[in-house]
């Protein structure tokens, strides 16, 4: 396999459940967001809206709403507590939303993956959190209205931050590849 800086960033990216609270500086954040904006989109529609949550006030508001969510059915409170703070100590969360239709879902996920890789190239890791944020928006429509444009659907949500301790390395890849 050819090793270059891009491949190193792709291979270095890992999903984190706990981050170091060190802030992400403006230039690094702009670099990550720019990588997202340069993802391909169906018919070059660029249908998305990126919401970058980074102010301590909004992170706290978001965190408080998350902590107020009812526990998922079947999960004992001790297991939820063991997962730690729902904000994972991350200094940034990015939401990618778009109007439904066309290739919006694919476009938004491609943007998020570009951001994951750009972040990894800067030593910043990420953690997908879409399902919880969807749940949060269902319980707190006011927060949804504050964070994403009216009529938009959330397609991708992730934390970004410098890595804290990681529990498990899921780096090994065992998917099927077939060359014909």
User: What residues line the site for ligand FMN (CB under 6 A)?
Assistant: 14-15, 17, 127-128, 131, 170
The smaller minimum CB distance to ligand FMN, of residues 14 and 54, is found at: 14
Closer residue to ligand FMN in complex, CB, 29/112: 112
Provide the terminal-to-terminal Cα distance of the chain, rounded to the nearest Å.
Answer: 19
DSSP letter assigned to residue 43: G
- Specify the 3-state DSSP secondary structure of 4: coil
Alpha helices by DSSP H, listed for the chain, are 5-12, 26-37, 56-67, 77-82, 104-121, 130-139, 141-147
Least gap, CB of 100 to ligand FMN (angstroms):
17
Would you say 37 or 131 has its CB closer to ligand FMN?
131
Query: Residue 17 CB, nearest distance to ligand FMN (Å)?
Result: 5
Single out the residue of 137, 175, 170 nearest to residue 155, CA to CA.
Answer: 137
Tokens 């904006």: give the residue: 37
Question: By C-beta, is 31 or 132 nearer to ligand FMN?
Answer: 132
Question: Shortest Cβ distance from residue 33 to ligand FMN (Å)?
Answer: 19
What is the per-residue DSSP string for 59-103? HHHHHHHHHTSPPPTT--HHHHHHT--TTTT-SEEEEEEE-SSTT
The whole-angstrom separation of Cα 168 and Cα 166 is: 6
Task: Tell me how far, at minimum, the Cβ of 132 lies from ligand FMN, in Å.
Answer: 7
Closest approach of ligand FMN to the CB of residue 114, in Å:
14
Residue of this chain nearest to ligand FMN (CB atom): 15
Query: Least distance (Å) from ligand FMN to the CB of residue 14?
Result: 4
Instruction: Choose between 71 and 145: whose C-beta lies nearer to ligand FMN.
Output: 71
53 vs 113, beta carbon nearer ligand FMN: 113
Token reading at 68: 């107020």
């Amino acid at each position: 396999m050819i090793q270059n800086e891009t491949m190193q960033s792709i291979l270095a990216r890992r999903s984190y459940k706990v981050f170091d609270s060190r802030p992400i500086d403006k230039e690094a954040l702009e670099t990550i967001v720019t990588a997202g904006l340069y993802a391909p989109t169906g018919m070059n529609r660029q249908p998305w809206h990126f919401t970058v949550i980074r102010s301590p006030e909004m992170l706290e508001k978001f965190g408080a709403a998350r902590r107020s969510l009812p526990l998922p059915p079947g999960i004992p409170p001790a297991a939820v507590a063991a997962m730690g703070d729902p904000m994972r100590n991350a200094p940034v969360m990015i939401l990618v939303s778009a109007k439904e239709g066309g290739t919006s879902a694919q476009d938004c996920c491609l943007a998020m993956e570009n951001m994951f890789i750009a972040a990894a190239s800067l030593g910043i890791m990420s953690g997908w959190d879409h399902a919880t944020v969807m749940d949060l928006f269902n319980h707190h429509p006011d927060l949804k209205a504050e964070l994403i444009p009216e009529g938009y659907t959330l397609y991708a949500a992730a934390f970004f931050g410098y890595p804290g301790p990681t529990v498990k390395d899921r780096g090994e890849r065992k998917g099927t590849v077939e060359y014909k």
